[in-house]
Structure 1
Amino acid sequence: MHGRIQGRSSPESSIPSATFVVPVEPPADAPDRTLDRIVETLGPHALHVITAGGRLSDKVREVVVHGPGEPLPPADAGILLLTGSPSTQAAGTVHDARAAGYRAVVVKAFGDDLARLAQAADEAGIALLSTPDEMAWRHLDALISSSKEPAFSDATDRFAAIGIGDLFALANAIATSVGGAITIEDPTGRVIAYSNLPHQEIDEIRRLGILGRQTPERPTNYEEYQAVLRSESPVYFESPAPEYASRMAIAVRAGTEALGLIWVLTDRPPVVARAERVLADAARATTLHLLRARGQRDPERARRTEALRLLLDGAVAPRSAAAQLGIKPDTPSLVLVIAPVGDDVEPILAASRIVDLVTLYCEAWHSSALCVTDSGVVYALLPTRTTDEPSPRLLKLADDLAATIQRSGRLDVLVGIGSCAAGLADVPESRAMADRVLAVLSGRSSRGEPTPRVASVEQVRTEVVLRMVANQGAAVEGQLLGPVRAIREHDQLHGTEYAASLLTYLSSFGDAVRAAEALNIHENTMRYRIRRIETMFDLSLEDGDQILATWLQLRLLRLID
């Protein structure tokens, strides 16, 4: 049963509890889509074929955003979104893309002639496509990823024939399928599109909404809209009077972000059987349309996002970045990195799923906050008031964000918080420290150790420093102390645990009782192992320098193994 709200309540009354329909999930084994189907679905306003390269009928899978000068990752039937100006992109990149497994390359023209790249694409046997200059790469990534998957689980794709962006045609298609008149609105109640089928009647509320492009003010509007936005399934509102129609509504979401609502009149004529499921299907199909509309109307955010990517890489002067980001060069800030985790997670696709939600949370923190995806993670730049260590409020923001992604998107993430930057010139260092914090959390998780999902650099400073030392080569095979190498080899050959025992003993400052408790063994066993280690591997635990170097290498090896 869908949620039911009886009658017309006053503004002070609350909405009764409701039991909602479980949303229908797309099948796990959904087929791959062909390149020509994606181009057809998105339309020429999003993708234009420069040259087919004989690849339009190929099935495609992953989407990769690639910056100039970055190493090109391999792909399984991928689409490469090649950022930067075509004048800076060597034709060799197109050939490399084909060799790396890509079926298509997408570029922005920025007024340049694409003939050289088209010739290279034809020679390589790869499709070359263009996207409008004002299209944000993040939005295009989301559009392509959405268009590659079925919008809903029924065998027949009810809305596939509707061109992306034609919201009025989509409204008529939904109205035909569900059996009642439709409006598509944004979260504030502004009417974006509506159906116009002659056999479906409307009431005065709908008529005024269409004429004014805004839902009329009513005492129950706020409660009703909140009920729909809180639910993941259709919500039913029974008519308060004979002259008004009963209604059903569902939120349209991208991940967990509400993009809009679909409203249907349910009794003029009565809607079809299983209307709730049809409406849930329609909401998933409408997501792609509303994402496309938002990407077209926000080119300024796209330009700021590209500027942030360059700033994080240290590839743009701080004053130039400040002008593009709309932030003063001396603004204190810090960087968060949010990484999807899990054995079955595809990082790049997962990051594109969560970036809008991360953006919402960060913009709630500061209106000038910005987010960008890069190599399967999301980076967020958060302006702060001071250069002090992250406040409890910011730590709570990060933890709430991770919890929301896990709860709503069924996706686990780790969040690394970088050092505080005094100005934009220090942002690349904050990004580097955030990456190091993430490496600490990821390392703990991979070793099966208890791992917080959020940490700042101050909270894991010791382990960050140790990893920096390890990266300098202090624990590479050729630099290992003789006893350390011999102990590791003995453990590998004989299944002993001398390395772990010695590390625990040294970390306990030579306290055998404490070390034994940590390893859950008897203290006499601990003392016996230490005596054996000293004898077998010619190790002196009376030499302070040798103790320090031995402990350091064993500790670093534990971090990087």
Structure 2
Amino acid sequence: MASTSFSAPQVNGTTGRAEPAGTTLRRLREHLGPLVLHVECAPQSEDVVIGRQVIHDLCEPVPPLADGVLLVVGGAPDRENCLDAIRQAGAARYSAVVVKARGRDLATAAAAARTAGVALLVAPDDMPWRHFDALVTAATSASGPARDTYSTVGAGDLFSLANAIAYQVGGAVTIEDPLGHVLAYSNLPHQEIDEIRRQGILGRQTPDRPTNLDEYQRVIRADRPVRFDMPDTQHINRLAVAVRAGPQLLGILWALDGVPPLGEGAAAALEEAAKVAALHLLRARSHRDPDRWSRGEALASLLDGAVSGRTAAAQLGIAEDTSTTVVAFAQGAPEEMPGLGGARIVDMVGLYCEAWHPQALCTTTGGLVYALLPTRTDPGAEGRVVKFAGNVVSTVRRTAGLDLLAGIGVPAARLDEVPAGRRTADRVLRALAGDPQGPVVATVADVRSRVTLMELTERGAPSVDLPPGPVQRIIAHDAEHSTTYGQSLLAYLDAFGEAIPAAARLAVHENTLRYRIRRIQELFEVDLDDPDTRLVVWLQLRLHRITG
């Protein structure tokens, strides 16, 4: 006899009611909570299955979509065009229609929804539609009903995870990405929230407050949960912990210490929750845009030279003979909030890549952010890439307060040449980092001499075993006695032996510099009259300065 497979219905742990497969209106309401979603009426009960959302223009007919959720944007619920949309949604077998009340009476719309057989849902007036749409998408993509233990939370189901963490920790929880975007939040009815959290949920972004930067710095730098006692009595005290996968910052967990208060084990529970959340955030990240994630991984492999141009072409959807240019980005100063700056840079580079070309890509590898830009071969191509990099650098500085350097590699005629372009871009970045007074965006032509010196350094020491020479003795003497002989000699040689400009660069009197040069020749037996000696001494001092 042939066997027949079937799936048992899921059971709601609160009511004991069997739930149909898929996301139901009841589960959506439980996930989002009354702050985000109000069910005005549900003529088919709250157990109806919720499908995907459709953002509806009242000037257009409602498209057919069984089980869909129609977001009626821009309409007043008591106007005829909105009522007609509700009727059309019922005829097209939608599960629900979402409106904003905007101070209007909902009775007429609710009556139309009951007649049409669709649920009427109400979104907050002060929440942007795109945020509401994103929250519904996140909630409906969750894999199972909310539970109170980590083992039964579906992979990437951040709303159920937030509820499970809130249950374990004892206070309301939000899960944020490194940029402060609210990814999910708990909705246990007995746990208190405050206005900061309310605004964060409605705007899907932590509200801007003067103490934000300091608070985030403390959390990200700490290796365990951090407590914040809020000075304003209207705000609830908080515990927060960073969520990491190795050194990579994935997000932050916030728990409110309100009513009921957190217990003694709350910090330990939140620390344990961060380990669980890391796996879910990684899974959710890949699920949100699996194609973009996989292409980013493929680009990283191409930049590293781990795959051939032909393989990369198939993975990236780019022709193998596409002409491209690699731009490498790095922070110009140590990061105040490790991981946070990198996330902001990736977001910004990604936005500019999308504006540049449909096939432009960005990824992060080796602590740097890379953009791969399809480019033409006309004379103005390099200038356009320089402008692209300059726009990214200036925007990141303006919006995030981060100093950025951009190194532009040599153009690659084929994808096989991309790793060489990446290596050139890396060298340009290193050259920029070694010159604090120099530009922040450069091509290899702009810093060719410094890149050449770096390449000489990378080739290693001479093959002949030589004893320490004058330059090594000068460097050792400066380190031991805190003198500046090496700096003074380099400035003198940079100025072609002219004491006046060299002294001005060092901010000393010219006679002081002349005295130092005489002492250097006496102490270290340096013959500056010999052209070969001048060349070798200058070269060694320059290389020492570059390599630090």
The answer to whether the 8 A contact 2:330-2:369 is kept is yes
Pick closer, same or farther for the CA change 1:293–1:494 going to 2, 3 Å.
Answer: closer
Pick closer, same or farther for the CA change 1:314–1:488 going to 2, 3 Å.
Answer: same
2:138 aligned with 1:280:
no
Q: Which residue of 1 aligns with 2:500?
A: 513
Q: Among 34, 54, 58, which residue is 1:176 paired with?
A: 34
Give the alignment of 1:495-514 within 5 angstroms.
495-514=482-501
Q: Which residue of 1 aligns with 2:393?
A: 402
Pick closer, same or farther for the CA change 1:411–1:171 going to 2, 3 Å.
Answer: farther
Pick closer, same or farther for the CA change 1:294–1:485 going to 2, 3 Å.
Answer: closer
Q: Which residue of 2 aligns with 1:357?
A: 348
Give 1:510 deviation, angstroms. Answer: 0.8
Pick closer, same or farther for the CA change 1:397–1:300 going to 2, 3 Å.
Answer: same
Give 1:354 deviation, angstroms. Answer: 3.7
2:366 aligned with 1:375:
yes
Residue identity opposite 1:543 in structure 2: D
The answer to whether the 8 A contact 1:167-1:193 is kept is no
Q: Which residue of 2 aligns with 1:78?
A: none
Which protein has the larger Cα radius of gyration, Structure 1 or Structure 2?
Answer: 2
Gaps of 5+ in 1: 1-164, 217-235, 261-271
Aligned length: 362
2:414 aligned with 1:420:
no
The answer to whether the 8 A contact 1:333-1:421 is kept is yes
Pick closer, same or farther for the CA change 1:418–1:385 going to 2, 3 Å.
Answer: same
Give the alignment of 1:4-403 within 5 angstroms.
169=27, 173-177=31-35, 205=82, 208=85, 211=89, 247-250=125-128, 252=131, 278-284=198-204, 295-296=286-287, 298-340=289-331, 342-345=333-336, 350-386=341-377, 391-403=382-394
Once residues 241 and 259 of structure 1 are traced to their aligned partners in structure 2, the CA distance between those partners, rounded to angstroms, is 31
Once residues 193 and 478 of structure 1 are traced to their aligned partners in structure 2, the CA distance between those partners, rounded to angstroms, is 77
Pick closer, same or farther for the CA change 1:498–1:285 going to 2, 3 Å.
Answer: closer
Once residues 387 and 501 of structure 1 are traced to their aligned partners in structure 2, the CA distance between those partners, rounded to angstroms, is 45
Q: Which residue of 2 aligns with 1:433?
A: 424
Q: Among 458, 465, 470, which residue is 2:457 paired with?
A: 470
Residue identity opposite 2:417 in structure 1: D
Could you state the TM-score of these two structures normalised by the residue count of structure 1?
Answer: 0.53
Deviations 1:483-542 (CA, angstroms, capped at 9, x unpaired): 101211222232221111110000001111111111111111121211221222111111
Once residues 329 and 241 of structure 1 are traced to their aligned partners in structure 2, the CA distance between those partners, rounded to angstroms, is 60
2:470 aligned with 1:483:
yes
Give 1:381 deviation, angstroms. Answer: 0.9
Give 1:382 deviation, angstroms. Answer: 0.7
Pick closer, same or farther for the CA change 1:346–1:179 going to 2, 3 Å.
Answer: closer
Give 1:237 deviation, angstroms. Answer: 11
Cα RMSD of the aligned pairs, angstroms, is: 5.0
Give 1:282 deviation, angstroms. Answer: 4.7
Pick closer, same or farther for the CA change 1:318–1:429 going to 2, 3 Å.
Answer: same
Once residues 101 and 457 of structure 2 are traced to their aligned partners in structure 1, the CA distance between those partners, rounded to angstroms, is 62
Once residues 206 and 511 of structure 1 are traced to their aligned partners in structure 2, the CA distance between those partners, rounded to angstroms, is 86
Once residues 357 and 278 of structure 1 are traced to their aligned partners in structure 2, the CA distance between those partners, rounded to angstroms, is 27
Deviations 1:464-486 (CA, angstroms, capped at 9, x unpaired): 11111111224999768611012
Once residues 479 and 186 of structure 1 are traced to their aligned partners in structure 2, the CA distance between those partners, rounded to angstroms, is 74
Q: Which residue of 1 aligns with 2:446?
A: 459
Instruction: Report the secondary structure of 2:325's partner residue.
Output: strand
Give 1:315 deviation, angstroms. Answer: 2.1
The answer to whether the 8 A contact 1:337-1:434 is kept is yes
Q: Which has the higher contact order (CA 8 A, sep 6+)?
A: 1
Give 1:249 deviation, angstroms. Answer: 2.3
Give 1:239 deviation, angstroms. Answer: 6.3
2:526 aligned with 1:539:
yes
Once residues 502 and 406 of structure 2 are traced to their aligned partners in structure 1, the CA distance between those partners, rounded to angstroms, is 32
Pick closer, same or farther for the CA change 1:240–1:404 going to 2, 3 Å.
Answer: farther
Instruction: Report the secondary structure of 1:247's partner residue.
Output: coil
Pick closer, same or farther for the CA change 1:443–1:180 going to 2, 3 Å.
Answer: farther
The answer to whether the 8 A contact 1:255-1:354 is kept is no
Once residues 361 and 400 of structure 2 are traced to their aligned partners in structure 1, the CA distance between those partners, rounded to angstroms, is 21
2:408 aligned with 1:530:
no
Instruction: Report the secondary structure of 2:327's partner residue.
Output: strand
Please identify, of 336-345 and 365-374, the stretch whose mean Cα deviation from structure 2 is larger: 336-345
Residue identity opposite 2:406 in structure 1: V
Residue identity opposite 1:429 in structure 2: A
Once residues 29 and 463 of structure 2 are traced to their aligned partners in structure 1, the CA distance between those partners, rounded to angstroms, is 62
Residue identity opposite 2:359 in structure 1: S
Deviations 1:224-269 (CA, angstroms, capped at 9, x unpaired): xxxxxxxxxxxx9966999999921246597779999xxxxxxxxx
Instruction: Report the secondary structure of 1:393's partner residue.
Output: helix
Instruction: Report the secondary structure of 1:509's partner residue.
Output: coil
Residue identity opposite 2:382 in structure 1: S
Q: Among 537, 542, 546, which residue is 1:550 paired with?
A: 537
Give 1:380 deviation, angstroms. Answer: 1.6
Pick closer, same or farther for the CA change 1:489–1:522 going to 2, 3 Å.
Answer: same
Pick closer, same or farther for the CA change 1:238–1:516 going to 2, 3 Å.
Answer: farther
Once residues 187 and 519 of structure 1 are traced to their aligned partners in structure 2, the CA distance between those partners, rounded to angstroms, is 67
Give 1:178 deviation, angstroms. Answer: 5.3
Pick closer, same or farther for the CA change 1:455–1:259 going to 2, 3 Å.
Answer: farther
Once residues 193 and 395 of structure 1 are traced to their aligned partners in structure 2, the CA distance between those partners, rounded to angstroms, is 46
Residue identity opposite 2:127 in structure 1: A
The answer to whether the 8 A contact 1:370-1:380 is kept is yes
Once residues 299 and 274 of structure 1 are traced to their aligned partners in structure 2, the CA distance between those partners, rounded to angstroms, is 35
Instruction: Report the secondary structure of 1:336's partner residue.
Output: strand
Q: Which residue of 1 aligns with 2:437?
A: 450
Give % identity: 40
Once residues 554 and 528 of structure 1 are traced to their aligned partners in structure 2, the CA distance between those partners, rounded to angstroms, is 19
Deviations 1:443-463 (CA, angstroms, capped at 9, x unpaired): 33xxxx335433222222221
Gaps of 5+ in 2: 1-21, 41-49, 58-64, 110-121, 135-176, 184-191, 207-249, 252-279
